[in-house]
Structure 1
Amino acid sequence: MNGDEDPEYIKRDIRVVVVEDHALVRAGMRKLVESFERVTVVGEASDTDQAIAVISELKPDVAIVDLQLPGEGGVAVLKEVAKLAPDTKNLVVTMYDDYAYIVAALEAGAHGYLLKTADRSELKNAILTVATGATVLDTEVAERMQRRWRDAKAPVVELTSRELDVLQAIAKGASNKQIAFQLGIGTRTVEGYVSSLLAKLGVRSRTEAALWAVDHHAIDGTAT
């Protein structure tokens, strides 16, 4: 898909809140995002407390969040948004590319992680992607995560077709209830599949399972 084309699933304007502590950067980010078709900036914030208040009140489709914020920081914002505005998808846009920052953000509820070196089309595509509940990672970040997985020398994992279905849904941000509805099975059955997946993949959380899926091309149904 071309970076300036809107996917077919976009039916209305995506409402966005921009969270960035530097005024000039925030203004530039807002102007850039507002230049995208069918994307509307409905609010902004400059620190942790303000971000939590604005996002919980406006409940935007997407919150663009920097990690370096006055107060408790961006990770704290992600955690609170997950509780107060669970339908809001968090897109981290930051200068930090360290593994620890990436994992902390994803574990806290980020649906996407972009570096500030990203270009216009990458930012637009990231907003459109996370708005659907799917996960998106900056190319450099994804490569860093892949190297981490390769260094771990994980054994080959064999998944059943149903486990692969569940893993793909997790990677796209679906909850257990959503997965149950999509697959026509019970929520408890989904919980069983999730537990089995975490054990088979040797990971501790749904976020790590989603990262495994991205690294091993499981999203397209060809896990390796």
Structure 2
Amino acid sequence: MNGQAPDGGIGVLVVDDHAVVRRGLTAFLDTMPGIHVVGEASDGADALDRLARLAAELRLPQVVLMDMLMPRMDGITAIGAVRERHPGLAVVVLTSFGETERVQSALRAGAAGYLLKDAEPDEIAAAVRAAARGEVHLDPAVAGRLARQLSSPASGLAALTTRERSILVLVAEGMSNRQIAGELGISERTARTHVSHVLAKLGLSSRTQAALVAVREGLLPPVT
């Protein structure tokens, strides 16, 4: 049994590390016909705990409305964990960040929607309803970026070859060009060329930025 209202409404769990945002979303959603909030959580780990309690009470929601950048457990990790533990739940992302790589990571993790925090209230409600119907709802700006990317040459991680992805991981692990060369059995000059290509394709200017991209895209675990 999901967390539905007596009239068959859609139950929602609101997940955001800012209490003011959570309360505002809760107050708004509770005014929408056919939607009600079953609880709030402050981050991904808290959301999983809350969902476990709701499941024990037979009050699971149908939709989780979730931020991306949160302490303890980020949104991408949380989406995957929610989908694994509660396959029947839909997760809609509500965040301030609309980079296509981040959107794609969320969708790959199983998100059923992706909205930016400047979305109109009615659009948030529409995304919740779409997710409950098993549909995917994207912020118009986000959808536009994804469409442009699909119609343009590959960029970001998609533009990297398998070898270049390996190079990115080694750079992120803190290896020098000489160490990369030794690891892959290539010359230091070749290693340096590969690193330059990786940075250029990703539009980065430093190895530190490359390391952050590798962590963000799940190629390496986050530093704890």
Normalised by the length of structure 2, the TM-score is 0.62
Give structure 2 stretches of 5+ with no counterpart: 1-6, 55-59, 155-224
Q: Does 1:147 align with 2:143?
A: no
Paired residue secondary structure (1:64): strand
Q: Distance in 2 between matches of 1:126 and 1:135?
A: 8
- Pick one of 14, 22, 29 that aligns with 1:26: 22
Q: How does 1:32-47 map to 2 (within 5 A)?
A: 32-47=28-43
Deviations 1:112-146 (A, max 9, x none): 00000100111111111010111110000000000
Name segments (4+ residues, structure 1) moved above 2 Å.
55-59
Identity %: 34
Q: Distance in 2 between matches of 1:115 and 1:37?
A: 22
Q: Distance in 1 between matches of 2:32 and 2:49?
A: 25
Q: Distance in 2 between matches of 1:81 and 1:125?
A: 21
Q: Match for residue 109 of structure 1?
A: 110
Q: Distance in 1 between matches of 2:33 and 2:133?
A: 16
Paired residue secondary structure (2:39): strand
Deviations 1:85-121 (A, max 9, x none): 1101000000011111101111111000000010011
Q: How does 1:1-224 map to 2 (within 5 A)?
A: 12-58=8-54, 59-152=60-153
Look up the equivalent residue of 1:22 and give its one-letter code: H
Q: Distance in 1 between matches of 2:51 and 2:77?
A: 13
Q: Match for residue 185 of structure 2?
A: none
Q: Distance in 2 between matches of 1:95 and 1:56?
A: 27
Q: Distance in 2 between matches of 1:76 and 1:54?
A: 16
Deviation at 1:57, TM superposition (A): 3.5
Q: Match for residue 217 of structure 1?
A: none
Paired residue secondary structure (1:152): coil
Q: Distance in 2 between matches of 1:137 and 1:116?
A: 12
The Cα RMSD (Å) is 1.3
Q: Distance in 1 between matches of 2:85 and 2:53?
A: 9
Give structure 1 stretches of 5+ with no counterpart: 1-10, 154-224
Look up the equivalent residue of 2:123 and give its one-letter code: E
